[in-house]
Amino acid sequence: MRLTALLPALLAGAALAGGAAPAFAQAMPQGGPQAAPQGGQQGGDQPTQRRGRVVQPYIEVSQVVSAELSPGNDVVTFTQVAAGVDVNLQGRNSAATVSVRYERNIGYGDNSIDNNTLSGIAAGSLAVVPGTLSLEAGALASRTRIDAGGATTVNPLVREDAESRIYSAYVGPSLQTRIGDVGVQGVARVGYNRFEADNALVTQNGQALDLFDDSVTYLGQLRAGVRAGEVLPVGLAVTAGGFQEDISNLDQRVRDLYVRADVTVPITPDLALVGGAGYEDVEISSRDALRDANGAPVIGNDGRFVTDQSAPRQIAFAVDGLLWDVGVLWRPSSRTSLQASVGRRYDSTTYYGTFTYTPSQRSNLAIAVYDGVSGFGGVLNNSLARLGTGFEAIRNPVTGDFGGLVNNANGQGLVGAPGSARAAAFRGRGAVASYQRTMGRTTAAIGAGYDRRTFITAAGTVLAPVNGLTDESYYVTGGVSRQVGQNANVTTNAYVNWFDGAGNNDVTAIGGSAAYNQSITQRLEGRAAIGVDYVDSQFTAQDFAIATALVGLRYNF
């Protein structure tokens, strides 16, 4: 394969673990550690700032050279023209963070790189009733690599014939108020998620495998409770809520409804026992694919199975009955917090929790363990919704792509869903961790994660062979940035990602990059970067490796 069919891309989205408090939220993969902002501005440029307002529009022109290291040795060059804006607004009644970038790659000659890319992330909050009711919204657009068994990898080396695009958006109100001694919290939102791939149907051990197309998610939750010592020596809370994802592939539906009561029993000023019990009704169902005269499933123009809308809905998983969990809540200081629980959900044992440690403004550690049922879109949308509005988007210094990596006050993390992009609903369990430390002009961060997805499909449908299969994904990513003088900085990043797919479809992706940014004038900046990426996939006969270098100029308005 020629190098012109290859493009490196930035980190794909990961399942950010949701450290859900048992008294208020489901233990679902829908949030997690991100990292503290690193300053964001390169080379000493000064964006427009006014009362917590940062607005930085820019244009870039760069020359890029790509050298194929394996399996061939082709070398191509192209010009990259880009325009974007980075926004951070933190007001009294509203807040928003936006990073959006459009780029055009202009190649030379036949079989050259010539494409357009739009990527970015945005999240905002507007107070409808200050201090009580707010409206929240967010959106995500990123690229990743799609590979064997529906695998998407962190920090991928993207080939044009293995490229996928991820989109997600949500909107909904959030409530926080008090009625006498009772605190009331609520959230409702609707979201949309889409996964685009040129080859939407892949073959795994002779079996056709449908990739996720799009879904609509709904989430609602209402909690009322009193704190320990306010009315009684113990804290009490009642929560009711639900989650539903409607997946277009075979009309799948994931529905999780619950109601529960929780109690918090203080043991010491720093330690409390927490526990709760309630009722849950969880159901996963779908329809079968349309069949032709020979009984074979029909595949549509988009490369996915065509749903037989006249077929009856078939149950893949159904549980209704008691749910419970017990755990500890430890907060020895405002810098340290631990919450860990074990219990029963989805008719089996469940574990989840969070740990955060911030000894100073210069360092922080965050760990989260999660467990929940959803589809690919549910993980993507819920992680985006839990991001908040005070983050910094990190882009690939060579390609400019945004793949889901962010810095936030709690650590470095990924927004999205790396791992499997199968259409089937699943139970996802895993853990994520991040650590960041600032040492003078140097900031270092590292993140790691593990995600295990066990797929749930109905017997007698075209997806039945997937039922019970497990895909696993591991990743480690890190970076170091250092300010050089008053007008320059250097950043380095590295990653490794392992995907262990059912059917022995494994993928390993490794790479790194380095960039140097130097202010020439107050608004004009020179840029240079180099990156190396390697992908070893059992889905292809050969491994792929590529080195890419860039030199260019950026003008900040």
Check residues 117 and 81 and name the one with the higher pLDDT.
Answer: 81
Please state, in angstroms and rounded to a whole number, the distance separating the CA atoms of residues 183 and 197. 45
Q: Name the token pair of 35.
A: 């990292």
Residue 17: pLDDT band by 50, 70, 90 thresholds?
A: very low
Instruction: Report the pLDDT value the prediction gives residue 151, as an integer from 0 to 100.
Output: 64
Check residues 59 and 414 and name the one with the higher pLDDT.
Answer: 59
- Between the CA of residue 344 and those of 319, 379, 511, what are the distances in Å? 12, 21, 40
Residue 201 has pLDDT above 80, yes or no: no
What is the rounded average pLDDT of the residues 53-70? Answer: 90
Check residues 500 and 336 and name the one with the higher pLDDT.
Answer: 336
- Answer yes or no: are the C-beta atoms of 153 and 166 closer than 8 Å: no
Residue 124: pLDDT band by 50, 70, 90 thresholds?
A: very high
Q: In sequence order, what are the residues at sequence separation of 6 or more whose Cβ sits closer than 8 angstroms to the Cβ of residue 433?
A: 33, 365, 366, 367, 368, 447, 448, 449
Residue 114 has pLDDT above 80, yes or no: no
Instruction: Report the pLDDT value the prediction gives residue 47, as an integer from 0 to 100.
Output: 45
Residue 501 has pLDDT above 90, yes or no: no
Residue 161: pLDDT band by 50, 70, 90 thresholds?
A: low
DSSP letter at 212? Answer: P
Check residues 311 and 205 and name the one with the higher pLDDT.
Answer: 311
| pLDDT tens per residue, range 502-523 | 766 778 889 889 999 999 999 9
What is the rounded average pLDDT of the residues 434-455? Answer: 90
Least confident of 68-82, 373-387, 411-425: 411-425
Residue 387: pLDDT band by 50, 70, 90 thresholds?
A: confident
Residue 258: pLDDT band by 50, 70, 90 thresholds?
A: very high
- The secondary structure of 227-263, three-state, reads CCCCCCCCEEEEEEEEEEEEECHHHEEEEEEEEEEEE
Q: Which domains can be identified in the chain, with CATH numbers? A: 3-204+335-556 (2.40.160)
Instruction: Report the pLDDT value the prediction gives residue 37, as an integer from 0 to 100.
Output: 28
Give DSSP secondary structure letters for 459-525: TTSTTGGGTT-EEEEEEEEEEEEEEETTTEEEEEEEEEEEEEETTTEEEEEEEEEEEEEEESSSSEE
Nearest to 170 by CA among 192, 203, 198: 192
- Answer yes or no: are the C-beta atoms of 412 and 8 closer than 8 Å: no
Please state, in angstroms and rounded to a whole number, the distance separating the CA atoms of residues 476 and 458. 34
